[in-house]
Structure 1
Amino acid sequence: MHGNAFEPIQIPARVWDRDESREILKNRDIAGLFNLAVKYAGASQTRISAATGISQGRISQHIRGQRQVTDLEVYERIAAGLSLPDHARMLLGLAPLDIASPTGNRGDEHQEQTQELTARIAAAAAIDPTMVMILSTDTNNLRLLDRRLGSAAIADKMRAQISQIARAHHHAVRPGIRSQLAHVLSETAALSGWQAIDTCALKDAWDHHERAISAAREADDPAVLAYAQGQQAYVLMDLGRPAEAAEVLHYVRDTFDLRVPGHLRTWLAAAEAEAAAILGDERTRRTALDQAAGFLPGENADPSLPYLALNTHHLARWRGSCLVHFGDPETTDDLKSALAGMDGTFNRAEAGLRCDLAHALLAMGEADAAQPHLYRAEQLATMIGSRRHGRRIVELRRALTRASR
């Protein structure tokens, strides 16, 4: 190992001329880049962390292929930390630092980039409405798998899906197709964001929702925009900032309430009720839940909102989840009703429902009745890899132990 943790990382210039290095750059292979720093500059993970501003734990995950970079700002930090020359920066897809002479004497790399861009635009031009529909169907299938299996089981498929859609959207020229791709990108990024919330990767969750919101604005679809903004509020709730979450949800409802379908109006009202319940704001919670019940259409699903599964049983689950914060005697009735009518494919939702039911029963002094629900919640959370529910189960286990003494 050469140098201390705060010395600049200097990879020999000749390394960037190697075919292997050029492929690493063109593929945005971050693990490969970090391995070049280790091999040719003797850089430790600690030194790479200090140079790039990325935590050592994440550096390790990148090297093992367990984490992907999606943000341009992170690519910039890596390029700066590894002192990439301009021709290497350009192969990585970044602007050169020397704008006056971006390619130096390396016209061949410039030509390669031109050819690559031409090829990607040509590939995107081949996408038609049928292809967009296929991509949308693929996202919906992943959503169904996520409900049953959890995010860990489909992580590789999700990364491939969002990468494919993002690349197609980035290089699409025709406005109509580009708008349709933006819509699918927003839905897919929002799904990735919810999965990140479930695994407690809250920075990733925030970033996925920012992408979903940006794409929804380009798609000019108020429903998918309202959904992405509303769901992002859950990141704030899990960060312990429910007041800001409530403010966001109130704004979204005020802005979009009359412009979106009934199922989404119901979802937004119930989400605001949940934030109010966390805050202990019983008046807002009660009003929002009453509104949610009034908005809910008779049909179980709206084909235009594939990202929402909401019916009377789901709303009863949500109502019970809100009431549990107040020790309301109606809580267990709502939750038992929701459990009886729940589709067995919603494993994450059932884990949360059983946590709420165990919580409500414990509050009523019925520890023995809470035990089987907590046991089943733990089984489901383990199966789908839900760290979010797992943390809550740990807290309820402690409460159950205290109650059983």
Structure 2
Amino acid sequence: MAPQDIASPTGDHNDEHEEQTTELIGRLDFAATIDPTTVMILRADTNNLRYLDRKLGGPATADKMRAQIAQIERAHRHAIRPGIRAQLAHLLAETASLAGWQAINTLALNDAWTHYEHAKAAAYEAEDPAVLAYVSGEQAYVLMELGRPAEATELLQHVHAQHRDHVPARLRTWLSAAEAEAAAILGDETTCRAALDQTAALLPEGDSDPDMPYLSINAHHVARWRGNCLVRFGDPDTADDLRSALAGMDGTYNRAESGVRCDLGHALLAAGDPEAAQPHIHRAHQLATMTGSRRQRRRIDELSKAVNRALRR
């Protein structure tokens, strides 16, 4: 005997059930149209958003980012073919991670954490250790912004130890640099310098890897990281590292340039030259405002007050 519909013995919900069935079939049919070419186009869209983000900032691309994630999620959730589903999972991990980074820069930290959790789940399904290590490591920046650098350092060290034998040298370089940054915030100069030394030792040639479009790191980026870390310890070579980083920028990393100029202003102030620091802080403020980076604005505002106090003395 068929089970009796207790909630609706007269079958009042038949229409609703038919609507659900029709909706599911439509979504499965939509996902079935996704082929490698479609995935390639979606990946190009994410790469374009990545470029716009570093140049214009998250607020300028917010609507496009939401639409991109929704489109990839819709296709991934109902994809049946394993190969296509894995590709969509990988792309979803990359795109959700980009959304997480944008949320960090606007200090929407709860949103950032959620994006990284989604990114990690997708990375696990994609079975790609590189993208999993990257999105897991980037989540540590949420902890740094929350004032929990010890936990961030522990997380980064764990991610690096877990994946060191399975990921490319460029990604290991990035993980070491991120660990150095967390250790610097923590005030652990020994761990910071050791991580920076490892960063320099691991750095491969070139600027990027086509298999990891989400990651760009070269000698100029490493100089930026050294400056950002060692300015906290009063290192006299910091200003030179930061000038080297500025010289290597191509005009597209506007938010990153804001951070470099903020650090250079900090270094010049520490060296007793607040007048030389002023133009860098002013430019950093312009770039942070243009890219909508509340994270950088917070640092710049604090530094501006310190420079103004020094100039009044």
- Normalised to the residue count of structure 2, the TM-score between the two structures is 0.96
Q: Which amino acid aligns with 2:188?
A: D
The alignment partner of 2:98 has SS state of helix
Are 1:332 and 2:229 an aligned pair?
A: no
Are 1:184 and 2:91 an aligned pair?
A: yes
Residue 293 of structure 2 corresponds to 386
Are 1:201 and 2:121 an aligned pair?
A: no
- Aligned counterpart in structure 2 of residue 359 of structure 1, from 266, 284, 289: 266
State the Cα RMSD in Å: 1.3
Give the distance between the partners of 1:259 and 1:352, measured in 2 at CA. Answer: 31
Closer, same or farther: CA 100–365 of 1 in aligned 2, 3 Å: farther
Residue 30 of structure 2 corresponds to 123
Give the distance between the partners of 1:207 and 1:356, measured in 2 at CA. Answer: 29
Residue 285 of structure 1 corresponds to 192
Are 1:238 and 2:145 an aligned pair?
A: yes
Are 1:150 and 2:57 an aligned pair?
A: yes
Pairs within 5 Å for 1:313-352: 313-352=220-259
Gap regions ≥5 residues in structure 1: 1-98
- Normalised to the residue count of structure 1, the TM-score between the two structures is 0.74
Closer, same or farther: CA 100–345 of 1 in aligned 2, 3 Å: farther
Give the distance between the partners of 1:398 and 1:185, measured in 2 at CA. Answer: 41
Residue 261 of structure 1 corresponds to 168
Q: State how many pairs are aligned.
A: 307
Give the number of the structure whose alpha-carbon radius of gyration is greater: 1
Give the distance between the partners of 2:195 and 2:227, measured in 1 at CA. Answer: 13
Pairs within 5 Å for 1:136-147: 136-147=43-54
Question: Following TM superposition, by how much is the alpha carbon of 1:365 offset from its aligned partner in structure 2, in angstroms?
Answer: 1.2
Give the distance between the partners of 1:178 and 1:100, measured in 2 at CA. Answer: 38
Give the distance between the partners of 1:386 and 1:330, measured in 2 at CA. Answer: 27
Give the distance between the partners of 1:127 and 1:178, measured in 2 at CA. Answer: 9
- Aligned counterpart in structure 2 of residue 114 of structure 1, from 18, 21, 38: 21
Q: String of CA shifts for 1:181-228, please: whole Å, max 9, x gaps.
A: 000000000000000000000000000000000000000000000000
Give the distance between the partners of 1:226 and 1:151, measured in 2 at CA. Answer: 23
Closer, same or farther: CA 108–202 of 1 in aligned 2, 3 Å: same
Residue 222 of structure 1 corresponds to 129
Closer, same or farther: CA 184–101 of 1 in aligned 2, 3 Å: farther
Question: Following TM superposition, by how much is the alpha carbon of 1:404 offset from its aligned partner in structure 2, in angstroms?
Answer: 0.9
Give the distance between the partners of 1:157 and 1:261, measured in 2 at CA. Answer: 31
The alignment partner of 1:318 has SS state of helix
The alignment partner of 1:307 has SS state of strand
Give the distance between the partners of 2:59 and 2:36, measured in 1 at CA. Answer: 31
Q: String of CA shifts for 1:269-324, please: whole Å, max 9, x gaps.
A: 00000011111111111111011111111112111110111110011001100001
Are 1:170 and 2:55 an aligned pair?
A: no
Residue 202 of structure 2 corresponds to 295
The alignment partner of 1:291 has SS state of helix
Give the distance between the partners of 2:46 and 2:288, measured in 1 at CA. Answer: 23
Q: Which amino acid aligns with 2:44?
A: T
Residue 398 of structure 1 corresponds to 305
Question: Following TM superposition, by how much is the alpha carbon of 1:102 offset from its aligned partner in structure 2, in angstroms?
Answer: 8.6
Gap regions ≥5 residues in structure 2: none
Question: Following TM superposition, by how much is the alpha carbon of 1:106 offset from its aligned partner in structure 2, in angstroms?
Answer: 2.1
Give the distance between the partners of 2:183 and 2:7, measured in 1 at CA. Answer: 56
Give the distance between the partners of 1:196 and 1:376, measured in 2 at CA. Answer: 23
Give the distance between the partners of 1:196 and 1:314, measured in 2 at CA. Answer: 22
Closer, same or farther: CA 257–102 of 1 in aligned 2, 3 Å: farther
Residue 275 of structure 2 corresponds to 368
Give the distance between the partners of 1:341 and 1:167, measured in 2 at CA. Answer: 40
Give the distance between the partners of 1:205 and 1:303, measured in 2 at CA. Answer: 26
Give the distance between the partners of 1:350 and 1:305, measured in 2 at CA. Answer: 22
- Aligned counterpart in structure 2 of residue 309 of structure 1, from 209, 213, 216: 216
Question: Following TM superposition, by how much is the alpha carbon of 1:105 offset from its aligned partner in structure 2, in angstroms?
Answer: 2.6
Q: String of CA shifts for 1:321-377, please: whole Å, max 9, x gaps.
A: 000110100100100111111121100110000011111111111100000000000
Give the distance between the partners of 1:129 and 1:118, measured in 2 at CA. Answer: 22
Q: Which amino acid aligns with 2:91?
A: V
Closer, same or farther: CA 100–168 of 1 in aligned 2, 3 Å: farther
Give the distance between the partners of 1:156 and 1:189, measured in 2 at CA. Answer: 14
Closer, same or farther: CA 295–101 of 1 in aligned 2, 3 Å: farther
Give the distance between the partners of 2:199 and 2:164, measured in 1 at CA. Answer: 11
